[in-house]
Structure 1
Amino acid sequence: MGLFNLFRGQFIDVIEYPNENPAVLVHRFERFNNEIKYGAKLIVRPGQAAVFVNEGKIADKFGPGTYTLETKNLPILTTLLSLPYNFNSPFKAEVYFIRTTEQLDRKWGTATPVMMRDADFGIVRLRARGNYAYKVSLRDELLTRFVGAQADFTGDAIEGQMKTKVVSACSDALGELKIPALDLAANYTEIGDRVRANLEPDFAALGFELLSFTVESISLPDEVNQAMDKRSSLGALGGVMDQYTRMQAADAMRAAADNPGGAGNMTGMFVGANLGGAINASVQPPQQAPQAVPPPLPAAPAYFAAINGASTGPYTQEQLKAAVLAGQVKADTLVWAQGMSGWQAAGTVPALAPVFAAMPPPLP
């Protein structure tokens, strides 16, 4: 009885892989030196595929289900082994169980920045990350190129090479699409579709099927982000800055008129006017210089005024006229400019006298 069990134990009558490890993509059935019994049961569970290999040559393949191993179910293996029809002798062959379920949420990212030429910012360095999903195809490339005689083949053994191809395909897609850096966030779907199209042949050559590819984020360098923030700020202020500076200048002049006789108020009015002009000039778009440049205009005289016993200025002629109209400078206020022999009353200066002549006399 013991001798009968010894011979019986050499023949395998059930082939299955019940304890499937999620990390294992390909598992070789532990046959050792035992032979597979003719008429044995092959059990392939959902999410699995079974492949028979004889002396390195891939033979018959089976999807999920339960099979009785006979010559009609093993046509290729029968030909390779030259087994007669309705044979009853056992046979030897390697059996591999392949995990065909989807491998979801596989992370990818650029270990080093990807260089891209941008029309607005020149050469920029991008970092990108996302995820992808794949599964093992029933083509022969995986078994012949990578598995070989290994008992178990895991996803970690191949995903490093996958991620390298992902980064390369992402760089190619960004170069082909030529999307400006300012518009990258609005085109993640288009970028992902292009990368997937570039990657599918590479994955197929490895024996895998790429199911999905997603771009989660593309980050720009800090200096580019700062430039984008400044540009958006100027764009938001450009429409209202001119009105704002005009209002500030008008408020300064009104405050000076309400407090006559103060040198500080007069100076504040002039500073407000100058500040408004400077800010207006800063927000105006740069203009090209004309082809023919006229000679410079003669310099306007700079006036100094004696207010409250102190010399203030310099002020332009237009600023003094505005001060006269505001009541800050009177006809007897002493003024001086380059070329004058000394201080003299503002009403006697030829350039300012017409302003006083046009003013009405004081009320009785």
Structure 2
Amino acid sequence: MIFNGIKRQLRSVIQWNNPHPEALLEQWTDNGDEIKNASKLIVGPGQGCIFVYEGKVKAVIQEPCLVELNTANIPFWTTIKKFMQFFVSEHKVAIYFFRKTKILDQKWGTTSPIKYEDPKYHFPVGLKAYGNFSYRILDAEDFFNNIVGNHNNFYINEFREIMAARIMHPLADYLAESRFSYADIDANREEIAHGMHIKLSTAFQKLGFEITDFRIEGTDFDEDTQTRIKRIADLTAETHAAQIAGIDYTQLQQLEAMRDAARNESGAAGLGMAMGAGLGFGQSMAQTAIPVQTSQPQGNSEAVQKLAQLKQMHDSGLITEQEYADKRKEILDRF
């Protein structure tokens, strides 16, 4: 015990040697009395120092320096020395060193899908995203008061957890405000990242941090959203095909329904449906002037083709309404 007390008395320099590679902040010692006999304080490059007296931040050193404690005019230093006893002090002092350099390329990712309504298709979207960010301690006193609290040390992985917890709400808000449809997300990653950078900077500045960079590296959608997206893609492709064929989407759906019915050969009912559907299919295609390959008998096929040609001639103004009606009746009577 005596040897330990003498050893503390002989300590002459306070400095942050060999900091943990993941440390944002570390307490210099768990025995504040020891600083009473130190003669020098060394703050190295990329470091800062916080003096805490009776649980309150009293001074912050932001720049590299070497301070002679016996003569230095550091706020509250005279008060500390006055209260210090030989081995024990009822007025505890704590010294914390913190990292001032930027913490680069930290990974982030949404812990669950971010929900918002697609502004174009009006269905719920579940978006997952990931990327990286960089930051640094901007205001050591705010950082100590708002984050560190009663902890002796604070590490990079702890800040990463705070980031993950606080990123969900701003990202959901930004997506709702920016009104990007699901199809626009990837094309606007940089714009979204820039908007998120602004939102996060405002929020984390209150905690004593500066977000120096924020990037979105990739996005994905949950299973429900992917199912909806696939359905929209199928409908879009079908509508486009219908436009090329010269019919609207409703007509296309009707033709597909008749085609499916025609394929149903289960029993007499299915056969009757197939016959009716086949006839309707031919008539519909004739009215829209689309050449169709069917399995009808040769005479029926020729009749359908003639009706289609007749309709084209009428639509082109090559024959009159009466001529079209007479000829159409003649072909149908033969059919």
Interval containing the TM-score (normalised by the shorter chain): 0.5 to 0.7
| Greater share of residues in helix | 2
Q: 2:234 aligned with 1:230, yes or no?
A: yes
User: Is the CA contact 2:108–2:160 (under 8 Å) kept in the aligned structure 1?
Assistant: no
State the structure with bigger RCO (CA 8 A, min sep 6), 1 or 2: 2
Q: Report the 3-state secondary structure (helix = DSSP H, G, I; strand = E; otherwise coil) of the residue aligned with 1:153.
A: strand
Name the amino acid aligned to 1:65: P
Structure 2 residue aligned with 1:196: 197
Query: Are the structure 2 counterparts of residues 146 and 313 from structure 1 closer, same or farther at C-alpha, using a change threshold of 3 Å?
Result: closer
Q: Report the 3-state secondary structure (helix = DSSP H, G, I; strand = E; otherwise coil) of the residue aligned with 2:39.
A: strand
Name the CA distance, whole Å, in 2 between partners of 1:177 and 1:306. 60
Name the CA distance, whole Å, in 2 between partners of 1:218 and 1:152. 34
Q: Report the 3-state secondary structure (helix = DSSP H, G, I; strand = E; otherwise coil) of the residue aligned with 2:185.
A: helix
Structure 2 residue runs without a partner (length 5+): 247-278, 291-295, 311-326
Deviations 1:169-225 (A, max 9, x none): 000101111122222222111211222222223212222221122122332322233
Superposition CA RMSD, Å: 4.4
Q: Report the 3-state secondary structure (helix = DSSP H, G, I; strand = E; otherwise coil) of the residue aligned with 1:12.
A: coil
Structure 1 residue runs without a partner (length 5+): 243-269, 282-303, 323-348, 354-364
User: Is the CA contact 2:111–2:164 (under 8 Å) kept in the aligned structure 1?
Assistant: no
Q: Report the 3-state secondary structure (helix = DSSP H, G, I; strand = E; otherwise coil) of the residue aligned with 2:180.
A: coil
Q: 2:31 aligned with 1:27, yes or no?
A: no
Structure 1 residue aligned with 2:69: 70
Name the CA distance, whole Å, in 1 between partners of 2:49 and 2:173. 37
Name the CA distance, whole Å, in 1 between partners of 2:51 and 2:308. 102
1:171-186 correspondence runs (5 A): 171-186=172-187
Name the CA distance, whole Å, in 1 between partners of 2:240 and 2:230. 15
Structure 1 residue aligned with 2:121: 121
Structure 2 residue aligned with 1:109: 109
1:32-47 correspondence runs (5 A): 32=31, 34-37=33-36, 40-47=39-46
Structure 2 residue aligned with 1:335: none
How much has 1:54 moved relative to structure 2? Answer: 1.2
Name the CA distance, whole Å, in 2 between partners of 1:161 and 1:321. 72
Query: Are the structure 2 counterparts of residues 160 and 271 from structure 1 closer, same or farther at C-alpha, using a change threshold of 3 Å?
Result: same
1:1-364 correspondence runs (5 A): 7=6, 9-30=8-29, 32=31, 34-37=33-36, 40-70=39-69, 73-78=72-77, 80-81=79-80, 93-129=93-129, 130-220=131-221, 221-227=225-231, 229-230=233-234, 233=237, 241=245, 315=303, 318-319=306-307, 352=330
Query: Are the structure 2 counterparts of residues 119 and 154 from structure 1 closer, same or farther at C-alpha, using a change threshold of 3 Å?
Result: closer
Identity %: 23
Query: Are the structure 2 counterparts of residues 79 and 209 from structure 1 closer, same or farther at C-alpha, using a change threshold of 3 Å?
Result: farther
Q: Report the 3-state secondary structure (helix = DSSP H, G, I; strand = E; otherwise coil) of the residue aligned with 1:36.
A: helix
How much has 1:82 moved relative to structure 2? Answer: 7.6
Name the CA distance, whole Å, in 1 between partners of 2:156 and 2:298. 88
Name the CA distance, whole Å, in 1 between partners of 2:43 and 2:239. 64
Deviations 1:281-340 (A, max 9, x none): 8xxxxxxxxxxxxxxxxxxxxxx9997xxxx67946944998xxxxxxxxxxxxxxxxxx
Query: Are the structure 2 counterparts of residues 200 and 317 from structure 1 closer, same or farther at C-alpha, using a change threshold of 3 Å?
Result: closer
Name the CA distance, whole Å, in 2 between partners of 1:51 and 1:122. 52
Name the amino acid aligned to 1:126: G
How much has 1:145 moved relative to structure 2? Answer: 3.4
Q: Report the 3-state secondary structure (helix = DSSP H, G, I; strand = E; otherwise coil) of the residue aligned with 2:140.
A: coil
TM-score by length of 1: 0.60
